Amino acid sequence: MVSQLFYIIHVSQIEEMRAVGFKEFCISAAAKYHLFYEEVKKMTENYQKTHGSQNHSIEETKAYFIGGGVASLAGAVFLIRDGHIPGKNIHIFEELNIAGGSCDGIGSPEEGYVVRGGRMLNDPAYECTWELLKFIPSVSDPKKSVRDEVVDFNKRIKTRAKARLVDENGKAADVSSMGFSNADRIALAKLTITPEEALGTLKINQWFSPSFFKTNFWYMWATTFAFQPWHSAVEFKRYMIRFMHEFPRIHTLEGVTRTPYNQYDSLVLPLQKWLEGQGVHFEMNCQVTDLDFKPSESVKTVEVIHYTRAGKQDEIAIRENDLVFFTNGSMTEGSRLGSMTSAPGLGAKGGSFTLWETIVKKQPDLGNPSAFADHIDESLWESFTVTMKDTAFFNSLQSFTGRALATFKDSNWFMSIVLPHQPHFTNQPENVSVFWGYSLFPDNKGNYVHKKMSECTGEEILIELFNHLKLTEELPSILKTSNCIPCMMPFITSQFMPRTKEDRPPVVPEGSTNLAFIGQYCEIPDDVVFTVEYSVRSAQMAVYSLLKLDKEVPPISQHQYDVRILFNSFITSFR
């Protein structure tokens, strides 16, 4: 009390003390201190009513993640590592029986392997991802971090496309030129400096002329990142800026950073194993169906989580200092698998999009799921995974394509394949090889199999593929020793759909006291969706914001201001 009282005594008050006497001055100062204390107490109480009390032990905070994808796994790590929340206080709800979300990889040599898609990483642009993986130990060698494991692998196994584009004769096409006209160059340059607000919901094909979509650049850029002409010009612009450093080598893909195995074995399993070791609860086969909010016009506070498991409904009361992280939307939601003898079906919305739609009815300013989930005809494509027991043939094919994406530019399906380093799965025998591919136009009829790809069996997809490669003589043997599993994904590029700024909610919405959005459908200015980095960054932002940590999220690299990158990109555009 004495120290606080003397703190109030300012130099300017010395004369007052001399005039009234020390005793009277102390009585007056004490009264002022009491009024000051009461005012601060009142302000603190009002703040706590709005933001929640901070006068609690971090040991008591519980966190609930809705969705078991990479964003949730990363968020749980950040809560433990940086927020010091005990792992036993963290619950991850996943409606499937496996974690990892879209970074998947399952199967066996007998039944065939499945990877719905491959995630290409990038050293210069994955700032948050690498910072996370430096902290996570490798499963195969716990003395190494996952980041070190990836670096060592890429030093040994180089990525370089030998046939980035394949022509109608099954030969590697000349990709030394981007194929731009002067009008294309001007349009690209203008796009990179046009504000997003001015672009609005403009589509890529509303910005460029039809000839642009016949250039080598479009064939390579579109299939590397899965863009369609009707996708958002804003997202296309963001990619042009974020990966400007890769523009000069888009024809070789040498900038791609690969994981030693598929992303499930290489990324998801190490994260999950570390979290399980910390006591994190994985609530599998559990679907969250609704969130209740406390009544308020200005504050958003989740107070109840409703969920179902094994057909039974239940709920969790969210206490004052608990946190909720929601992966709103999923690009692999509604995925369906086919087989060598059956085509995949077309799935519909699942728990993630449905929950987002449900809470938006209560809180209309939490985004617009319809902008992404109600355009299946424009957001779907189909992938396929091939398990081969003829390793000699696989090796021969890989020597033609290299360990990188190869696109059949004249394919009616706009088909691409990737033959990665083997083994691609940790349980893959030496006499088995695995590769995957995908097609952006699965509703077109094939060049050789006159059916829509979406109606084709795995066998028919192989027939189409190896006719493009002009390997028809080897086809009977390939069909006998291979298993092709197709996969239809109705929402796989839904995050690229034209949108307004308000269609994606902020990571932490205005007025939120305990709710954050993570994953591919929240808004992070300047960053690009359809990347592992976007999921990890959103999780780090969410944790640091809700816990009010005095820590900075790694900044997004600004390659567009690097003179060397700008110069190389300019020269490349005239190549």
Q: Mapping DSSP to helix (H, G, I), strand (E, B) and coil, where does residue 475 land?
A: helix
Alpha-carbon span 178 to 160, nearest angstrom: 18
Inter-residue contact 222 to 179 (CB < 8 Å): no
Residue 452 parent element (H or E): none
Which run of H or of E encompasses 409? none
Burial of 468 (0-12, 13-18, 19+ CB in 10 A): buried
Quote the CA–CA distance of 256 and 379 in Å, as a whole number: 24
**Burial letters 419-448, b for 16+ CB under 10 A, else e:** bbbbbbbeebeeebbbbbbbbbbbebebbe
Pairing of strands 323-327, 63-66: parallel
| Catalytic option among 113, 239, 261, 534 | 239
Angle made by CA atoms 355, 89, 300, in degrees to the nearest 5: 40
8 A C-beta contact, residue 396 and residue 390: no
Structure tokens at 57: 């032990």
Looking at the DSSP assignment, which residues form a beta bridge with residue 74? none
Report which of 225, 217, 173 is spatially closest to residue 440, judged by C-alpha positions.
225
For 86-115, b/e burial (b = at least 16 CB within 10 A) is: bbebbbbbbbbebbbbbbbbbbebeebbbb
Taking a C-beta distance cutoff of 8 angstroms, is the pair 466, 346 a contact?
Answer: no
Is there a catalytic annotation at residue 448? Answer: no
Q: Computed over its alpha carbons, how large is the radius of gyration of the chain?
A: 28
How far apart, in whole angstroms, are the C-alpha atoms of residue 95 and residue 350? Answer: 9
- Helix, strand, coil share of the chain (percent; to 5): 40, 15, 40
Token pair, residue 233, equals: 């010009």
Active site positions, annotated: 239
